[in-house]
């Protein structure tokens, strides 16, 4: 009898409720392919945009680009069944099984819990790419919009590890969280420019990185650019509204290794908030609300393909 696996699918664009979990047959592997049993799948707002129909593409859609898991079957000589891995750049990782290629996998560092490993790679590699797009010196002051979210939480820590001083924006409920990370916290909303100047304490802002996509983030970037700052965005909104340079991220095993070095050397932390796979609709509702603190991750602990995989639970 053909084996099946669960996968989150949207057969039309719309609200989170368009997503359902379907059973699909397991297809034979082609040369070079690796099939991984997913243990944790990091959630990324781009999937909420795709689901809503704001990011092109065609239905049916599957979701999930990053994950941690255990190789189930491999036709890539670099990987074997039972290997514990972290993956990125995948299509359809919100599933029991995901098909990928060996160059989009790295060995899962033993010390990383499954949920952290599932959510670290996208946010971390994005953060490194953003920092690499800027010319900065230790001691420079940078501004990060939406500093308390999945990417922001990693980005601010990686920036501080590089010796930068970070001012981060968040709502009132996340000011203490940012302070604990070592960030100079600022509440977003009217008067942002003055509060940022106050937090900078007379120092120039060398760069701003927009993860919020708000009009005020774009407006402030224009103001800062006129004062000589480098201002970039990681979101399409302020690229479209204000023409901010949009950083596109090329994830790689090399960048993952760089991320892990900084993570270990810098004693970085990633706060993860987990939901079960059956709560994938809820995960999309949370992404739509845009108030996650740290990284949202789907836990696949009930994945039947992990059953014989030792310490995967």
Ligand X SMILES: NC(=O)c1ccc[n+]([C@@H]2O[C@H](COP(=O)([O-])OP(=O)(O)OC[C@H]3O[C@@H](n4cnc5c(N)ncnc54)[C@H](OP(=O)(O)O)[C@@H]3O)[C@@H](O)[C@H]2O)c1
Instruction: Give me the residues that bind ligand X (CB under 6 A), please.
Output: 44-46, 122, 126, 145-146, 148-152, 169-171, 173-174, 188, 211-214, 234-235, 247-249, 287, 290-293
Nearer to ligand X, 10 or 306 (CB): 10
CB of 73 to ligand X, least distance (A): 29
What distance in Å separates the CA atoms of residue 197 and residue 147, rounded to the nearest whole number?
17
Nearer to ligand X, 3 or 198 (CB): 198
Nearer to ligand X, 171 or 243 (CB): 171
CA-to-CA separations, 90 to 42, 84, 99, 279, 298, in angstroms, rounded: 11, 16, 7, 20, 15
Q: Which residues of 123-153 are buried (b: 16+ CB within 10 A; e: fewer)?
A: bbbbbbbbbebbebeeebbbbbbbbbbbbbb
CB of 232 to ligand X, least distance (A): 10
- Asked whether 36 and 70 are in contact (CB, 8 A), the reply is yes
Nearer to ligand X, 155 or 260 (CB): 155
Nearer to ligand X, 37 or 234 (CB): 234
CB of 288 to ligand X, least distance (A): 9
Nearer to ligand X, 74 or 233 (CB): 233
CB of 87 to ligand X, least distance (A): 16
Tokens of 115: 């949920």
Which one-letter DSSP state was computed for residue 177?
A: H
- Asked whether 273 and 126 are in contact (CB, 8 A), the reply is no
CB of 246 to ligand X, least distance (A): 7
CB of 266 to ligand X, least distance (A): 19
Strands 141-145 and 205-210: parallel
Task: Give the closest residue to 244 by CA, choosing from 277, 213, 278.
Answer: 213
Which one-letter DSSP state was computed for residue 246?
A: B
Nearer to ligand X, 102 or 185 (CB): 185
Q: DSSP for 84-113, please give it.
A: EEEE-S-S--SBSEEEEEGGGEEEPPTTS-
Strands 295-299 and 272-276: parallel
CB of 270 to ligand X, least distance (A): 11
Residue at shortest CB range from ligand X? 149
């Amino acid at each position: 009898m053909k084996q099946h696996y669960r996968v989150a699918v949207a057969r039309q664009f719309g609200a989170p409720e368009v997503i359902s979990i379907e059973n699909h047959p397991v297809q034979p592997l082609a040369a070079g392919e690796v099939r991984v049993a997913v243990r944790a799948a990091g959630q990324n707002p781009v999937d909420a945009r795709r689901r809503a129909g704001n990011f092109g593409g065609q239905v049916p859609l599957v979701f999930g680009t990053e994950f941690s898991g255990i190789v189930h079957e491999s036709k890539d000589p670099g990987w074997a069944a039972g290997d514990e891995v972290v993956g990125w750049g995948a299509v359809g990782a919100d599933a029991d099984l995901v098909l990928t290629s060996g160059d989009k996998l790295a060995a899962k560092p033993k010390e990383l819990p499954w949920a952290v490993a599932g959510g670290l790679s996208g946010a971390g590699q994005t953060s490194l790419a953003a920092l690499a797009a800027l010319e900065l010196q230790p001691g420079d002051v940078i501004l990060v919009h939406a500093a308390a979210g999945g990417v922001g939480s990693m980005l601010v820590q990686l920036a501080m590890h590089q010796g930068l001083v970070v001012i981060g924006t968040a709502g009132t409920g996340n000011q203490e969280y940012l302070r604990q990370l070592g960030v100079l916290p600022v509440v977003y909303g009217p008067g942002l420019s003055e509060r940022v100047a106050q937090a900078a304490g007379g120092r120039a802002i060398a760069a701003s990185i927009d993860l919020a996509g708000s009009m005020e983030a774009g407006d402030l970037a224009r103001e800062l650019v006129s004062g000589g700052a480098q201002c970039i965005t990681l979101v399409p909104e302020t690229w479209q509204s204000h023409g901010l340079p949009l950083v596109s991220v090329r994830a790689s095993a090399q960048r993952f290794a760089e991320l892990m070095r900084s993570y270990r050397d810098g004693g970085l932390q990633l706060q993860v908030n987990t939901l079960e796979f059956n709560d994938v609709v809820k995960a999309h509702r949370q992404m739509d609300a845009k108030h996650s603190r740290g990284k949202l991750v789907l836990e696949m602990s009930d994945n039947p393909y992990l059953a014989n995989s030792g310490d995967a639970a």
